[in-house]
């Protein structure tokens, strides 16, 4: 793969020095932008995800507004449960909803575990390829997937949950079946990420946003082995295909296990806003770090956003080596686009 004209993100991910921190934002394409809302009025959420032309269009919308160093393909982590045969709907004011979530271990038999990932999720690959064509090398396109534990939570809870008590019940009451489900999801994640890289994604991120519900023991026993295996296997398969694609893991709320990611194949570790940069730098000396401004900070004035950005970058050592600027979670839906612009502009102004 030829590198994009702006390869700042890729060089930073690999630990090379850059002229300034690269910047992209989780959920940078989506519901806080009026242009996305206009598309959403015409089509339901998953129709956009499953229609390459629409997904590509939405992916590129923030690049027209902001001086970003990458785009992230517009999709959703729950396309994997859909590929396994589960129905997922996006309900107004509710979010994702599973009409028939997994309730007991016997429900695992209902999953289409022999699914051909490249066929079932080929529309994501098409969206990435189309987006790369439209980008014409301007910036890299990011591919992603949800982590097995986070996917398991949604598949069992049936929707967002404040406690994920149903999924945690499985870990305690049905540990064997929990490992079986996590293994199924891990193997699909590996195939899906490799397919996205083949389609043109130059950077891959694994989102474990519900890891914050796990203490260290459960995280070590159930979630972390999946994350480690995904990076190792994806890297190995991509190497065999002469593809060199940096990988990032975003495991929210697992500061108590941060040092464990040092011994993985991830190039980058994303940090949520509760993690102090100095602590992360100590625990992950060889990794590039990504993050981690509180998304709520974008409610501040533009002047305060600039100050907060400068403080954040300074804490990460100035941002010209082994650092990628981002928020500590996805941009909130009621964020003012002009404040998002202030965040991005504050990063791009760093010299």
Residue 40 a catalytic site member: yes
In DSSP terms, 206 is beta-bridged to 145, 249
Single out the residue of 335, 259, 262 nearest to residue 294, CA to CA.
335
- Beta-ladder partners of 17: 321
Contact predicate 31/285, CB 8 Å: no
Of 278, 280, 229, nearest in space to 256 by CA: 280
Has 154 been annotated as catalytic? Answer: yes
Compute the residue count for the chain: 351
Candidate list 7, 11, 69, 154, residue with the active-site label: 154
Q: Which of 31, 65, 138, 159 is catalytic?
A: 31
67 three-class SS: coil
Residue among 7, 20, 69, 76 flagged as catalytic: 76
User: Which among 8, 11, 20, 27 is annotated as catalytic?
Assistant: 27
d(CA 209, CA 216): 15
Asked whether the beta carbons of 273 and 294 are under 8 A apart, the reply is yes
Beta strands 247-251; 203-208: pairing state: parallel
* Number of Cβ atoms within 10 Å of the Cβ of 347: 26
Annotation says 27 is catalytic: yes
Is the distance from CB of 46 to CB of 40 less than 8 angstroms? Answer: no
Q: Helix, strand, or coil here: 202?
A: coil
- The position carrying tokens 């893991």 is 249
What are residue 146's DSSP bridge partners? 207
Provide the annotated active-site residues: 27, 31, 40, 76, 154
């Amino acid at each position: 793969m030829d590198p994009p004209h702006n390869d700042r993100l890729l060089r930073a991910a690999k630990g090379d020095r850059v002229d300034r921190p690269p910047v992209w934002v989780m959920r940078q394409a989506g519901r806080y932008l009026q242009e996305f809302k206009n598309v959403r009025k015409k089509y339901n959420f998953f129709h956009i995800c499953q229609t390459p032309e629409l997904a590509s269009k939405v992916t590129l919308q923030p690049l027209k507004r902001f001086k970003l160093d990458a785009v992230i393909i517009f999709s959703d982590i729950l396309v994997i449960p859909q590929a396994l045969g589960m129905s997922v709907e996006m309900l107004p004011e509710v979010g994702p909803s599973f009409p028939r979530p997994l309730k007991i271990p016997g429900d695992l038999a209902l999953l289409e575990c022999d699914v051909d990932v490249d066929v079932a999720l080929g529309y994501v690959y098409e969206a990435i390829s189309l987006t790369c064509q439209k980008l014409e090398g301007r910036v890299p396109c990011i591919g992603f997937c949800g982590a097995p534990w986070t996917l398991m939570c949604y598949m069992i809870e049936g929707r967002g949950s404040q406690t994920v008590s149903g999924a945690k019940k499985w870990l305690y009451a049905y540990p064997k079946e929990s490992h079986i489900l996590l293994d199924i999801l891990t193997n699909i994640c590996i195939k899906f990420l490799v397919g996205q890289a083949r389609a043109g994604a130059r950077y891959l991120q694994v989102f474990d946003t519900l890891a914050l519900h796990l203490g260290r023991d459960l995280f070590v026993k159930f979630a972390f082995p999946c994350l480690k295996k995904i990076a190792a296997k994806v890297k190995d398969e991509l190497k065999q295909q002469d593809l060199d694609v940096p990988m990032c893991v975003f495991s929210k709320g697992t500061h108590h296990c941060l040092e464990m990611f040092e011994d993985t194949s991830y190039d980058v570790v994303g940090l949520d806003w509760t993690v102090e940069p100095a602590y992360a730098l100590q625990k992950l000396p060889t990794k590039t770090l990504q993050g981690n401004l509180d998304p709520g900070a974008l409610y501040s004035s533009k002047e305060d956003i600039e100050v907060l950005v400068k403080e954040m970058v300074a804490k990460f050592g100035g941002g010209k080596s082994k650092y990628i600027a981002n928020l500590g979670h996805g941009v909130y839906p009621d964020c003012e686009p002009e404040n998002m612009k202030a965040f991005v502009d504050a990063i791009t102004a760093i010299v």
